Chain A
Amino acid sequence: MNRSELIIQIIALATLIIACVLVWILTTEVFHVEGDILSVPMDLDSESDLIDRLYRMIPLLCVAMLLSIAFAFYIEEWLSETTWYYRIINQHISILANIPSLIYGILVVCIFLFQVGKFSNFTLVLAIVFLVVPVTIQTTQSAIRGVDLSVREAAYALGANRWQVITDHVFPRAFPKITGGVFTVISRVLAIAVLLIIVCELRTSIIQDVGSYEISSNVFVLISLALLSCVLSSFLQK
Chain B
Amino acid sequence: METNNHSIETKNLNLWYGDFQALMDVSVNIPAGKITALIGPSGCGKTTLLRCFNRVNERYGNVTTKGEIKILGKNIYDPDVSLLELRKTVGMVFQRPNPLPISVYENILFGLRIHSPFGSLTRNQADEIVEEALTSVFLWDDLKDKLKVRATSLQLEQQQKLCIARLLPLKPQIILMDEPCSALDAKGTLAVEELMGILAGKYTFLIVTHNMAQARRVSTECIYMFLGELIEHRETQALFETPDHPKTADYVQMRYG
Contact = CB atoms under 8 A, between A and B. Distances in A.
- Chain A at the B interface: mostly helix, strand, loop or mixed? helix
Contacts of A173: 101
Given A80-B61, A80-B62, A157 B96 contact: no
Given A150-B96, A154-B100, A169-B100, A159 B87 contact: yes
B91 interface: yes
A36 interface: no
Contact of A154 (B59, B61, B98): B98
B121 interface: no
B114 interface: yes
B59 A156 contact: yes
Contacts of B54: 157
Interface string B211-238: 0000000000000000000000000000
Nearest to B18: A82
A159 B56 contact: no
A155 B106 CA distance: 12
Interface string B160-191: 00010011001000000000000000000000
Interface in A76-99: 80-83
A63 interface: no
A160 interface: yes
Interface in A145-188: 148, 150-151, 153-161, 164, 168-169, 173
A150 B114 contact: no
B92 A159 contact: no
Nearest to A165: B114
Contacts of B166: 158
B61 A158 contact: no
A159 B98 contact: no
Contacts of B101: 151, 169, 173
Interface string B84-115: 11111001101010111100000000110011
A211 B238 CA distance: 98
Interface residues of A, number: 20
B62 A82 contact: yes
Contacts of A157: 54, 56, 87, 91-92, 94
B83 interface: yes
Contact of B170 (A156, A159, A161, A168): A159
Contact of A159 (B84, B94, B96, B163): B84
B96 A158 contact: no
B129 to A, nearest CB: 14
30 contacts: A80-B62, A81-B61, A83-B61, A148-B98, A150-B94, A150-B96, A151-B98, A151-B101, A153-B56, A154-B98, A154-B99, A155-B110, A156-B87, A157-B54, A157-B56, A157-B91, A157-B94, A158-B110, A158-B114, A158-B166, A158-B170, A159-B84, A159-B86, A159-B88, A159-B114, A159-B115, A159-B170, A161-B84, A169-B100, A169-B101
Given A154-B100, A169-B101, A173-B101, 18 more contacts: A80-B61, A81-B61, A153-B98, A154-B99, A155-B100, A156-B56, A156-B59, A157-B87, A157-B91, A158-B87, A158-B110, A158-B114, A159-B83, A159-B84, A159-B85, A161-B84, A161-B114, A169-B100
Interface of B: 54, 56, 59, 61-62, 83-88, 91-92, 94, 96, 98-101, 110-111, 114-115, 163, 166-167, 170
The 7 closest A-B pairs by CB, nearest first: A150-B98, A159-B87, A80-B61, A157-B92, A158-B111, A154-B98, A159-B84
